[in-house]
Amino acid sequence: MNTIKSLKLSGNALKVLQSRYLLHQHGLEETPEQLFRRVAKAVASAELKWGTNQDAARWENDFFKIIANLLFLPNSPTLMNAGTPLNQLSACFVLPVEDSLDQIFTSLKNAAIIQQSGGGTGFNFSHLRPKDDPLTITQGTASGPVSFRKYLMQPQKISGMGEREGALTWAYSISTTRTLKNSFNQRKK
């Protein structure tokens, strides 16, 4: 293996690594160098799908040197999860919220799972009917996107994330906003 410069980590950096990123298993704590090796190996393992073992080993070595020399550090989920059974490396996810009760609560379940591992979720409410639109099955009216926001914002509070809380956000498309406004204005007439 190629050598690296000795790790130049401040006391504060070591404290952050120990409290948030180094694995603690069976009474043993991972070292910073082991953390960087674990991450490099996990990321380089993608090469095994299309390349060779030698390709993966080369990329592992290259990526390890880049991380260990502090030229680049991956995001928190990668540092926490790479090379573990969870192996979730992404920090942000956008979840669709479709226009049925079952699909709305499926999005809630998916958000809780993502939040549990420290990922952040954004919700696209563009497919939900505006408040007071007629419902065919129940003959009632839709409660609108805002009424579901409080449920979809809960995963942050209920999932017991390990090392960090993921962010939550929600959005509508511009065309949906116009449709909501036009629908509201039509009802006022």
- The whole-angstrom separation of Cα 18 and Cα 100 is 44
- Measured between its terminal Cα atoms, the distance across the chain in Å is 75
Question: Is the distance from CB of 113 to CB of 168 less than 8 angstroms?
Answer: no
| Cβ-proximal residues to 133 (8 Å cutoff; 6+ apart), any chain | 141, 142, 144, 183
pLDDT digits (tens, 9 = 90+) for 157-175: 554 545 566 677 777 776 6
Average of per-residue pLDDT across 130-144? 85
pTM of the model: 0.69
* Residue 187 confidence (pLDDT): 52
- The whole-angstrom separation of Cα 19 and Cα 163 is 8
- The whole-angstrom separation of Cα 176 and Cα 157 is 29
* Residue 1 confidence (pLDDT): 42
β-strand pairing of 120-124 with 92-96: parallel
pLDDT digits (tens, 9 = 90+) for 47-105: 999 999 999 999 999 999 999 999 999 998 899 889 998 888 888 888 888 988 899 88
Average of per-residue pLDDT across 8-30? 90
Q: 114 burial class (0-12, 13-18, 19+ CB within 10 angstroms)?
A: buried
pLDDT digits (tens, 9 = 90+) for 174-183: 665 555 555 5
Domain boundaries, the chain: 11-81, 92-188
Beta bridge partners of 15: none
| Cβ-proximal residues to 47 (8 Å cutoff; 6+ apart), any chain | 55, 56, 59
Residue 149 has pLDDT above 80, yes or no: no
| Cβ-proximal residues to 139 (8 Å cutoff; 6+ apart), any chain | none
- The whole-angstrom separation of Cα 55 and Cα 44 is 8
Residue 188 has pLDDT above 80, yes or no: no
Helix/strand/coil for 78: helix
Residue 27 has pLDDT above 60, yes or no: yes
